Chains A and B, each alone.
Chain A
């Protein structure tokens, strides 16, 4: 606040100085016009050069005055601002110290009061606990007596109710028995009949599906048998052809192994020359052809 006030005072001083400068300027201007009017009335020619230099002097003087005023105002403002700032700092320090003192005293007071309150509370609580204990003991005794009384009353009421129900039941029991028997029998008969029909239906369905399965199995069996016969036949043929391929070699080997040297070439001469004679023409063709 004090800074704003100082600023406002400075602005007010500046405005006053400006107003004074403007006033002085107009006053000088009026006096020069008066001089000009006097000169014209005296019949002499107006001196334009004198008035212009005069105006310039006035302007420079005005500017200087304005600048001086501004400088003094700012210097004054600065000194005032500095002094107020130092004052403010001092005030702030004092304020901080007083706040600290206040805080310490408040904390001490608070602690003492809290301690007092705590001791009071503990005393009150122990007293309350003692009261609660005594009250609860009293309540337990009261509840026990109430339970006993209630139990006796309920037993009496139940005995009377049971006696009434027994007498009523003995009258209606036989009727209910016969009705129940009849209704149960009819329900059982109905259920049995429904069960029988359901079993018959299930049996028929089962028989039907079993016959279908049997037929399918039979067909598959026949197909498999046919396939197997075909496979066996083809394998037999393959094996026979394999045997056919190898059996001659086996027999030849067998003969070679068993006959050995016993098959003499001299004994074969008749056969050899017979074969040569039979194929003589073919052999000749080979040479001449």
Chain B
């Protein structure tokens, strides 16, 4: 399992910023075994899960760093906006869905905008997918003005 090409990107590392953060973390702690023990959760548990022993080898760290650097430079990025800031459970579910259905190393950053009312908006590099309730209201066939006109008559 030490081969970097087979390592999956965990769902708790969802955004580009988190990738950058964990690259820094691993670079700081890869020099000695004592330092390796300082690697923070949940990355530590994840790396132990990947290891065949109970220890985190330097090779595993290097392989995972390679995956992170590769992800940082080449992975597709998406911005997902909700009406409220999503809890971890939803963030994990969304990230997993993107990585299972769109790209295995897709990076998702989460934002919120209360004006969306509900639903979500997905923004890629070139396009915006608006699945928000606001958009549904605005594109509704039954326009509020028509309703008002009917009421006035």
Contact = CB atoms under 8 A, between A and B. Distances in A.
Interface stretch (B12-20, B21-29, B65-73, B120-128): B120-128
Given A261-B84, A282-B129, A286-B127, A275 B120 contact: yes
A176 B124 CA distance: 126
Interface size classification for chain B: 35 or more
Contact of A268 (B101, B102, B119): B119
A256 B131 CA distance: 16
B64 to A, nearest CB: 23
Contacts of A273: 97
B117 A259 contact: yes
Contacts of A279: 122, 129, 131
Interface size classification for chain A: 20 to 34
Task: Tell me which of B84, B101, B145 has the highest count of chain A C-beta atoms within 10 A of its own C-beta.
Answer: B145
B134 interface: yes
Nearest to B103: A287
B118 interface: yes
Contacts of B84: 261, 263-265
A248 B144 contact: yes
B138 interface: yes
A255 B133 contact: yes
B10 interface: no
B86 A256 contact: no
B141 to A, nearest CB: 13
Contacts of B117: 252, 255-256, 259, 263
Nearest to A275: B131
B129 to A, nearest CB: 6
A235 B47 CA distance: 69
Contact of B124 (A253, A255, A263, A286): A286
A275 B119 contact: yes
Contacts of A276: 97, 101, 122, 131
Given A256-B114, A275-B119, A287-B76, A265 B137 contact: no
A266 interface: yes
Contacts of A259: 117-118
A272 B133 CA distance: 11
A94 interface: no
B93 to A, nearest CB: 8
A279 B102 CA distance: 11
A273 B90 CA distance: 11
A255 B118 CA distance: 10
Contacts of A266: 90
B83 A263 contact: yes
A210 interface: no
Contacts of B87: 265
A39 B106 CA distance: 181
B74 to A, nearest CB: 11
Contacts of B118: 259, 263, 268, 271
Interface in A232-277: 240, 243-244, 247-248, 251-253, 255-256, 259, 261, 263-266, 268-269, 271-273, 275-277
B137 A251 contact: yes
A247 B117 CA distance: 15
A248 B137 contact: yes
Contact of B101 (A247, A261, A272, A280): A280
Given A244-B145, A247-B145, A280-B102, A286 B97 contact: no
Contact of B126 (A240, A264, A286): A286
Interface of B: 76, 78, 82-84, 86-87, 90, 93-94, 97, 101-103, 106, 114-115, 117-120, 122, 124-127, 129, 131, 133-134, 137-138, 143-145, 148-149
Given A243-B144, A276-B131, 10 more contacts: A240-B149, A244-B143, A255-B137, A266-B90, A268-B119, A269-B90, A283-B122, A286-B127, A287-B76, A287-B103
6 contacts: A261-B84, A263-B83, A265-B87, A275-B120, A275-B131, A283-B78
